[in-house]
Structure 1
Amino acid sequence: MRVAGEKTQALVLSQWARDASRLSIRVAGAEVTGGTTLRLLGVSFDRLLHFGAHCNELRKKMRPRTAHLRRMTGRSWGLTERQLRTVANGYVRGALEYAAGAWLPAASESHLTLIDRELRAAARVVTGCLASTPSHALMAEAGLPTAHMCRDIRAARQLALAASLPAGDPLRTLADSSPPRRLAATLGWRDRGREMFARLSPGGEPLIIEERLHVSAPPWQDGGEVSFHLDVGPDGSRDRPPELRRRAAEERLESFPADATWIWSDGSAEEGVHRGGGGALIVTHDGATREVRVAAGRLCSSTRAELFALRAALEDLTSTPDRDTARPIIICLDSKAALALLKNGPTAQRTPVAADIWKALQGISATGQPIQLQWVPAHCGLPLNERADGLAKEASALPQEDTPIDVTTVTRAAARSASARWREAWPDGWHREIWGSRLPGPVEGEDRCSAIDVHQLRAGHWSCSEQYLHRIGRRPSPGCEQCGSVRCPAALCRVCREEADTPRHVLLRCPALAGRRLARVGTIHPTVTELQDDGVVAALAAGFRAQLSRLATPP
């Protein structure tokens, strides 16, 4: 290998500036002078690894993207709010995500604040909120995570990815080691990832990360005689009554051979994210049954628990001596996501549990047994499915400490943890009264103007409010140029003149809107939590504007 000295860069990592002064080395006959930053694969490193220069470059990259987003917000032709959120998360925030696992966990607090400033600019475009809107309400209404949340999530994901590598891999060795830190004030992905792992495991037990699937099935490999059925007809949809769903499932199941071997599997997870368990019921042609229970991990989704149950059932079936290989096998699951994942075929699987299931299916199919996997609706009264569900709930109580957790599950758990910590830190106020610790979704079914009113009213800063305009100096009066008091006469509601037209007054107390409240909510005194309904807030905002329009129209 020939080293190009003219392309070589040098940087000293040290807390002492004198270590980096007058650095000069010779590489391949060229003199290389140490600089203040070093650029590697699009990331700018500095002497203290605070990544200030890189964050400044990111800000320059995010600003034009935010401007592009702003051009998509036409009131008559622009994108819907759900689409604006998608563009903001993928296009604007995408600039932040490049190589974030390497630099974001180590970035200093002051530089993360600069990134948050650009994210708030994108959030104002999505929601139409004012510049003075509290940051927590603004980011919540826009559905955008903060830079600090992204940092914790990326650190946990990077550590999980490193831990999923085989033993002896250099990156895994680095993740498992604990060398002394030369830069005492800088934390990297390893230390921040361990902090996140500790939050995800309050009991102190270490998280065992599942080793990733390093060798997938070759693309020419045939799936064998395995077929998938992901519906039972139109009556099987969730909006149909349980009786119709059960009848549709029974009619579909009657079309299968009666003398087949049946596997009914199900997965369970507390709140869909904790203590996973898989249960399966194996019914042979002569009516004999076997029960299977398996722990799926302390952090687990119901889909992953279902895959654990199916793998355990197939292992139990194939390990049975003298099993009947002349009869077909019917597998019934109530997780459409798990079936859709497996239906992609053996070459598309990216997790060991799914790959193991396909190996078992191919092994059974090689003996000449046809296999059919059928989705059945859950909780509609199918007896065998209910028994499998009970087994899964029993399995969730099994010891979970030794069950490995995959990288995707750890990343999602870290995202939930970071979001929960952020929401718990919200200050008390109007927005928290409405939402508590929940996150609002996008405003649906309203035009852009109405959606902006909804966001501004729930965030507490409304551009139509006299009190707000007086506070920022846009509505001075002879007696008061500008103040923030809600008792100031210049801040009185122009419709009722009873008190300041704060969002609380407009939505809950203004007597001129009593009829609108009664029509929308059924009472003239709605609760604060009823303002979570976008339509209610939009209707009251439209009613208030109509009252102002009447006042402005001469008789």
Structure 2
Amino acid sequence: MYCQFIQPVALYGSAAYMSLSRKTNREKMDQVAAAGARIITGCPAGTRTRVVMAEANIRSISSLAEEQGAILRERVIRLPDSVPARQTVTRKMRKRLVNRQTWREEATKIAKEALLEETEREAMSLPPRPPWLSMGKGRISFHTESGDTTSRHDPPERRRAAAERVLEALPPTDSTYYTDGSTEKGFGVGGGGVVRIEQGRGNATWSVPAGKWSSSYRAEQVAFLAAVRDAAGAPKEVKTTRLCTDSLSLVTFLKQGTRGPAPETLTEIWTGLNHLSRRKVNVQIVWIPGHADIAGNEQADQAANTGRTLPQETAKIDLPSAKVAIRGVCWKKWSGTYHTTVPPEHTHRRATDGRCLKYESEWARRDQVLLHQLRANRCPLLQATLARWNRPDTDGLCPECGVPEDTEHVVCECPKYQAARSALLGHTPTLTVLQEDPDAVLRFFRRTGLLPEAR
């Protein structure tokens, strides 16, 4: 309920108004997020707010608003100069409230921290009408049949056989291109690779940079564009061309088109395909499964890895990659608040270091709540917690040991539960077991009788 309704409503328009809000108003908005976190986790009042937020895996409204503002600026600043929204973003305004930052200033600061101001941005523009919709002469066709009979979980030989059947069923072409993209750990320095097989100009393989901040999808786009550019410069004798890529997302997007502004790379791909269509070149755009031992695709993959080693200064950064960079900066800033507000000796920090709890599908709601409360060291099954609530029937001490009965004592130390502890958690477990093996902690509490059976 909170993540699907309350949070989106609170964030609506926050990119513009939150930066000008008073500190007290921001705190009121963040209190709503904290209240939602307490409901999600079941942690009682008195639990540190930042601990509860970490357990619920949600961020404060003000932190999310900063991120939304930076993303809004990135989206608008890529539009043409004639667009009023872009003029608003770039306009120099006199500050009326000198003690508060405008959303432009906050967004620009985040962009600088993400190093986006040091890289040329890829513009957004309205693309031409896709040629397969405007021409209507069947010169550009899409083929994704390989995915109808196989999945990514199938062995490589089966996926390769499916791709070969599709390629053999298509009419022969004068030239064939294989393209692939590669990035460092999913997002980072990227590169693209292209393999051309053609009798007229001969075979060729080359690499292109995709940028310092690139997603895999972005690298695939850059490689595909390089192939389209080369195909557009082919001799007039080339009347049929095949473009093969292992990015199903790219093929689907190119086929469907877009109703709004598109990145410059995709616009140039459509423009290049339009050019080929006007030259009466028949183009086959074919999806093939990746890492299926298809020779051309494997060569393109190697070329893409080489592309990551090329100088990246000339590569522009696209909007999706900029969003990832902004989210990384904002998340790092938000994570930093945990380490500055939660002391190193706190149970939650020693157990999780700010990481959230990963749910298992078979856990009941009360299991989830118990784990959240134990990790926060605010659980009604613990005598120390009851003493914090000034319960007259407890002194907060373990009846067996005479020391404060908190999460660490029950899970790691109390000799009364040593047999169950050794069997389920190890002879000398640490608090990190609450993060690394929470299911074992639940079994431990059931075996010791601390967690009553559900009625």
- Which range, TM-score by smaller chain? 0.7 to 0.9
Partner in structure 1 of residue 3 of structure 2: 89
Which residue type is aligned with residue 125 of structure 2?
L
- Tell me if structure 1 keeps the 8 A contact 2:11–2:61: no
The structure-2 alpha-carbon separation of the partners of 1:432 and 1:547, relative to structure 1 and needing over 3 Å to count, comes to closer
Distance 2:434 2:57 in 1: 18
Partner in structure 2 of residue 282 of structure 1: 196
Distance 1:134 1:465 in 2: 17
Q: TM-score, normalised by structure 1?
A: 0.71
1:195 aligns with 2:129: no
Which residue type is aligned with residue 365 of structure 2?
R
The structure-2 alpha-carbon separation of the partners of 1:346 and 1:158, relative to structure 1 and needing over 3 Å to count, comes to closer
Q: Which runs of 5+ in 1 are unaligned?
A: 1-86, 481-489, 551-555
Report SS of the residue matched to 2:125: coil
Distance 1:475 1:287 in 2: 90
- Tell me if structure 1 keeps the 8 A contact 2:374–2:407: yes
Which residue type is aligned with residue 226 of structure 1?
S
1:156 aligns with 2:70: yes
Report SS of the residue matched to 2:282: coil
Partner in structure 2 of residue 338 of structure 1: 250
1:228 aligns with 2:131: no
Distance 2:258 2:143 in 1: 13
Among 176, 199, 220, which residue is 1:262 paired with? Answer: 176
Among 335, 340, 357, which residue is 1:423 paired with? Answer: 335
1:206 aligns with 2:118: yes
Distance 2:360 2:145 in 1: 32
- Tell me if structure 1 keeps the 8 A contact 2:55–2:355: no
- Tell me if structure 1 keeps the 8 A contact 2:145–2:166: no
Among 2, 17, 31, which residue is 1:103 paired with? Answer: 17
* Greater shift in the superposed pair: 257-266 or 405-414: 257-266
Report SS of the residue matched to 2:43: coil
- Tell me if structure 2 keeps the 8 A contact 1:466–1:475: no
- Tell me if structure 2 keeps the 8 A contact 1:264–1:280: yes
Report SS of the residue matched to 1:185: coil
Task: Give matches, 1:83-482, under 5 Å.
Answer: 87-201=1-115, 206-214=118-126, 217=129, 221=134, 224=138, 225-229=140-144, 231-232=146-147, 236-238=151-153, 240-242=154-156, 245-246=159-160, 249=163, 253=167, 255-256=169-170, 261-284=175-198, 288-325=202-239, 327-333=240-246, 335-345=247-257, 350-365=262-277, 367-378=280-291, 380-426=292-338, 427=342, 428=344, 429-436=346-353, 438-477=355-394, 480=395
Report SS of the residue matched to 1:463: coil
The structure-2 alpha-carbon separation of the partners of 1:109 and 1:266, relative to structure 1 and needing over 3 Å to count, comes to farther
Please provide the CA RMSD for this pair: 3.3
Write out per-residue CA displacement over residues 50-86 of structure 1, whole angstroms, 9 at most, x where no aligned residue.
xxxxxxxxxxxxxxxxxxxxxxxxxxxxxxxxxxxxx
Report SS of the residue matched to 1:183: coil
Which residue type is aligned with residue 299 of structure 2?
R
Give the superposition deviation at 1:497.
4.2
1:491 aligns with 2:404: no
Distance 1:145 1:541 in 2: 30
Q: TM-score, normalised by structure 2?
A: 0.84
Among 413, 418, 428, which residue is 1:525 paired with? Answer: 428
Distance 2:433 2:143 in 1: 44
Report SS of the residue matched to 2:192: strand
- Tell me if structure 2 keeps the 8 A contact 1:272–1:302: yes
Give the superposition deviation at 1:165.
2.1
Report SS of the residue matched to 1:300: strand
The structure-2 alpha-carbon separation of the partners of 1:187 and 1:233, relative to structure 1 and needing over 3 Å to count, comes to same
Report SS of the residue matched to 2:105: helix
Distance 2:42 2:286 in 1: 48
Distance 1:449 1:457 in 2: 12
- Tell me if structure 1 keeps the 8 A contact 2:128–2:271: no
The structure-2 alpha-carbon separation of the partners of 1:234 and 1:135, relative to structure 1 and needing over 3 Å to count, comes to farther
Structure with larger RCO (C-alpha < 8 A, sep 6+): 2
The structure-2 alpha-carbon separation of the partners of 1:298 and 1:264, relative to structure 1 and needing over 3 Å to count, comes to same
* Greater shift in the superposed pair: 99-108 or 447-456: 99-108
The structure-2 alpha-carbon separation of the partners of 1:319 and 1:242, relative to structure 1 and needing over 3 Å to count, comes to same
Among 444, 447, 450, which residue is 1:540 paired with? Answer: 444
Report SS of the residue matched to 2:143: strand
Give the superposition deviation at 1:263.
2.0
Report SS of the residue matched to 1:425: helix
The structure-2 alpha-carbon separation of the partners of 1:183 and 1:345, relative to structure 1 and needing over 3 Å to count, comes to closer
Distance 1:260 1:510 in 2: 77
Give the superposition deviation at 1:166.
1.3
Distance 1:535 1:235 in 2: 35
Distance 1:106 1:434 in 2: 38
Quick check: which one's helix share is greater? 2
Distance 1:515 1:104 in 2: 54
Which residue type is aligned with residue 331 of structure 1?
C
Task: Give matches, 1:8-23, under 5 Å.
Answer: none
Count how many residue pairs are aligned between Structure 1 and Structure 2: 443
Report SS of the residue matched to 2:118: coil
Write out per-residue CA displacement over residues 278-316 of structure 1, whole angstroms, 9 at most, x where no aligned residue.
222122268942223322233221111111111111111
Distance 1:186 1:314 in 2: 49
- Tell me if structure 2 keeps the 8 A contact 1:467–1:501: yes
Write out per-residue CA displacement over residues 418-437 of structure 1, whole angstroms, 9 at most, x where no aligned residue.
11222133233332333335
The structure-2 alpha-carbon separation of the partners of 1:266 and 1:373, relative to structure 1 and needing over 3 Å to count, comes to same
- Tell me if structure 1 keeps the 8 A contact 2:245–2:286: yes
Distance 1:463 1:230 in 2: 58
Which residue type is aligned with residue 466 of structure 1?
Q
Give the superposition deviation at 1:115.
0.7
- Tell me if structure 2 keeps the 8 A contact 1:230–1:339: no
Give the superposition deviation at 1:328.
4.8
Give the superposition deviation at 1:267.
1.5
Give the superposition deviation at 1:136.
2.2
